[in-house]
Structure 1
Amino acid sequence: MLRNLGWGSTASYSYMKKQLYRVWTGLVVAFTLYVPVLFVQSLMWTIDISHADTLFTSLEVFFNAPAYTIKSTIMLLNRWRVDKAKDLLDVMSERCVTYEERVEVHKLATRCNYIIFVYHVIYFIPTSLNLAYAISTGIPPLNLYNPFVDWRDGTRSLWIASILEYFLQVFAIYATLALDATPLIFGLTVRAYIKWLHVRVERLRMQTDMTEDENYEELVLCIKDHKLILDYCENMHPLISRTMFVQYATVSLVLASTLIHLVSFADLISGITTAIYMTASLFQTFPFSYTCDLIVEDCENLALAIFHSHWMGSSRPYKSALVYFIHKVQQPIIFLGGGVFPICLNINIQVAKFAFSLMTFVQQMSIFENFEK
């Protein structure tokens, strides 16, 4: 997906293919920068802000427009980290030598593809429903500024304008989907390799045909595996941290606007679309927040597995290495959103609480009481 969006590596490309790919990357960047401008133009010139349903539908997407631009910029500046992460995964996978471990690696890849599919479904359903609802009401989905087609000229112009808006949203959603799914796939990958390391730790000094030196070498390999996992996390941390910080800020605003829309102004059809859109917005932060909590728990379980491994009667170098290993593992893998707060389920709950508080504040201020439903 990243390659299709112009964010992939060009190291293996020929000279001509590199130039063409750079042109494509430039077009994607230009589109990314223009999206917030387009929504501002639309709010100023074309969107009927006196109609509450139209206003809130536009606001829900508008809050995501600058977030899409910022997240795309973060990915573009840090795409080398993704390439480095792939190289680290290749090194980490070299330890998966048994048939069972290879099967687990393939299951992980399948699980990641399944996650991408789920994100596709969740993100594209509200967009498609909004298109159908807009066509039935006789206006484009978002009524974006379009200097080439005036949808008021007739049914044909309405369809052309609506389809153009739909494809614009599809491309933006495709890019947003890739950006939002990356942290979750990264988190599941970290959990999988910690789990496999856990299994190797439990096998330490369990094979009677291995000498003490061979057991020590196996322990050293486990320590190196843990170091590779830490390197993998440290490499991706800046990308994940900045992306999640933007997503937390965006989700709080989107949730507040969707709640106001859902409670006060939405009819049955737009209410269903808004509820699905709100669920899709939660997928920006909730799955990875929950995964981060599970990673901390996995680190604690790994430390317990090391302590309860069969180290009694081992050599002094083995025990010294084991103490060092426990000390390193007891420092849990924690990710910080923007380097400010830990990414965890509690923060996600706080964001939801903030959205409810913001909705209550706006309702008490009676800002939208004179808007048409």
Structure 2
Amino acid sequence: MQRLSELLYERVESDCETNKPFKLLFYFWTWIGIKSKPRGFLSTLHMVCVWIMFFFTPFLATVGFIRKWKVSTVTECLSTLQAFINAIAASAKAFAVLMYFKRIKNVEPIMKDLDERYKKPHERQQISDCVASCTRLYASIWFIYYLYGNMSILTAIVLHKQPFGGWYPFLDVIPNPTVHFYSCFIFETCYMYLLLTAQYLNDLFPTLYMRTIRTHIQLLRERVSQVGADPDMSDEEKHQQLIDCIDIHQQILKVVNIVGSICSPTIFIQFSVVAIVHCICMVNIFIFADNLNLMITIIYYITVAMEILPTCYEASTLEMESSKLPVSIFHSNWLALDMRGRKLIIFFIRRAQVDVSFVAMQMFKINLQTYLVIAKFSFTLYTFVNEMGFGQNIKDLME
């Protein structure tokens, strides 16, 4: 297996498969209990334990926040509230992915079939570049997510407080305060990394699939521009060349439908979380936070933005790439085709004019424009809260 460092620096194998980045994704999904069918007793026990933690996250987070509100400052409570909202969303998204997990496995043979159609060195190089780009996405988003997690743990150690602040009744029976604190701290750290990993993977997979689909559309555009360009081909060979391009396009649309049905609920949840959490972050930054919490909240704000921004960027880029496909078909040498080929070209152009796009729960189109609308909404919400004097009233009350 190729080293991760080689992929990061684009030293990739020439025979890379499109499915290569997703093998790592499925491996980590299995680690956090998202798998189609557990094998053996230990695998079943692991999945049951993980999903018990996922299902009890909303309850533990809510009770923990209520308990913390009574003894902590407003800044700490708001920071905890931000984390709790994301933790609950992480559990909900993990459940949505599990429901559609069998469906996403169907993408693998389609991608494998698409790879087998590209034999030329420059086509294989484009697939290798796509694998390298996906690997850099893994690394960059992982760094941002776990930077916040590590800072939360270090801050908790310095302040001698729990990093997450949840409620764990089975640990409350420990009478020794020191043993109780470190038992809660160790359990909560593992718990937080489980939720953080689930959040990371479930936010990352739409970005990876969109990046891969974009590469295959680029390859299709290059291939369709060569239809009828070789004068040595017979009419039957040119017709078969066009049929092959149409078949590739149909397979790409099939992948889009599968991925779209899976990421639709997860991204809808994330859009809602981004709007609420960004508003809370701004209230915390501009009204309550001290220097330490200000730095942590800013990093958290960036982390929450990165939960949805790469996906919106890739979705917008994919829309632009797909909009170029009808132009590429039109500029092919369709005059060299026979009557059957020319009729197929008309059908192909009309079919290719349908945008390759993703929609969150049939409500929000996933692209950068929607992200800007969400960001604007969160700022409007913060302005409303600030103008109403809600934050300042709480601050005066606590003082």
TM score, norm. by length of structure 1? 0.92
Cα distance in 2 for residues equivalent to 1:114 and 1:49:
42
Kept in 1: contact 2:63–2:167 (CA 8 A): yes
Aligned twin of 1:320: 343
Aligned twin of 1:184: 207
Cα distance in 1 for residues equivalent to 2:158 and 2:258:
49
Instruction: Indicate the SS of the match to 1:63.
Output: helix
Amino acid at match of 2:189: Y
Aligned twin of 1:127: 149
Amino acid at match of 1:22: T
**1:293 Cα offset (Å):** 1.6
Kept in 2: contact 1:149–1:157 (CA 8 A): yes
Aligned twin of 1:3: 30
Amino acid at match of 1:91: D
Kept in 1: contact 2:36–2:98 (CA 8 A): no
Aligned twin of 2:192: 169
Where do residues 332-343 of structure 1 align in structure 2 (5 Å cutoff)?
Answer: 332-343=355-366
**1:266 Cα offset (Å):** 1.4
1:221 aligns with 2:248: no
Aligned twin of 1:112: 134
Cα distance in 1 for residues equivalent to 2:51 and 2:206:
21
**1:117 Cα offset (Å):** 1.6
Amino acid at match of 2:127: V
Query: CA 1:301–1:289 in 2, change beyond 3 Å: closer, same or farther?
Result: same
Cα distance in 2 for residues equivalent to 1:205 and 1:320:
14
Cα distance in 1 for residues equivalent to 2:238 and 2:41:
52
Cα distance in 1 for residues equivalent to 2:40 and 2:107:
22
Amino acid at match of 1:123: Y
**1:317 Cα offset (Å):** 1.0
Please, which of 278, 289, 307 is the counterpart of residue 255 of structure 1? 278
1:35 aligns with 2:49: no
**1:228 Cα offset (Å):** 0.2
Structure 2: runs of 5 or more not aligned: 1-27
**1:18 Cα offset (Å):** 4.1
- Report how many residues are paired: 368
* Sequence identity (%): 23
Instruction: Indicate the SS of the match to 2:106.
Output: helix
Cα distance in 2 for residues equivalent to 1:356 and 1:117:
30
Amino acid at match of 2:144: I
Please, which of 35, 39, 46 is the counterpart of residue 24 of structure 1? 46
Cα distance in 2 for residues equivalent to 1:175 and 1:313:
53
**1:126 Cα offset (Å):** 1.2
Aligned twin of 2:223: 200
Aligned twin of 1:347: 370
Query: CA 1:3–1:146 in 2, change beyond 3 Å: closer, same or farther?
Result: closer
Aligned twin of 2:254: 231
Cα distance in 2 for residues equivalent to 1:128 and 1:281:
15
**1:113 Cα offset (Å):** 2.2
TM score, norm. by length of structure 2? 0.87
**1:244 Cα offset (Å):** 0.9
Structure 1: runs of 5 or more not aligned: none
**1:47 Cα offset (Å):** 4.4
Instruction: Indicate the SS of the match to 2:324.
Output: helix
Query: CA 1:156–1:19 in 2, change beyond 3 Å: closer, same or farther?
Result: closer
After TM superposition, the structure 1 stretch with the greater mean CA deviation from structure 2, 193-202 or 90-99, is 90-99
Kept in 2: contact 1:245–1:338 (CA 8 A): yes
Aligned twin of 2:81: 59
Cα distance in 1 for residues equivalent to 2:36 and 2:88:
25
After TM superposition, the structure 1 stretch with the greater mean CA deviation from structure 2, 218-227 or 278-287, is 278-287
Instruction: Indicate the SS of the match to 2:391.
Output: coil
Query: CA 1:6–1:146 in 2, change beyond 3 Å: closer, same or farther?
Result: closer
Cα distance in 2 for residues equivalent to 1:94 and 1:258:
48
Cα distance in 2 for residues equivalent to 1:295 and 1:340:
19
Aligned twin of 1:280: 303
Cα distance in 2 for residues equivalent to 1:89 and 1:22:
30
Instruction: Indicate the SS of the match to 2:202.
Output: helix
Cα distance in 1 for residues equivalent to 2:298 and 2:36:
38
Kept in 2: contact 1:256–1:356 (CA 8 A): yes
Cα distance in 2 for residues equivalent to 1:49 and 1:96:
63
Amino acid at match of 2:352: V
Cα distance in 2 for residues equivalent to 1:329 and 1:174:
37
RMSD: 2.1
Cα distance in 2 for residues equivalent to 1:135 and 1:344:
39
After TM superposition, the structure 1 stretch with the greater mean CA deviation from structure 2, 166-175 or 285-294, is 285-294
Kept in 2: contact 1:335–1:343 (CA 8 A): yes
Aligned twin of 2:9: none
Kept in 2: contact 1:149–1:160 (CA 8 A): no
Kept in 1: contact 2:220–2:245 (CA 8 A): yes
After TM superposition, the structure 1 stretch with the greater mean CA deviation from structure 2, 150-159 or 118-127, is 150-159
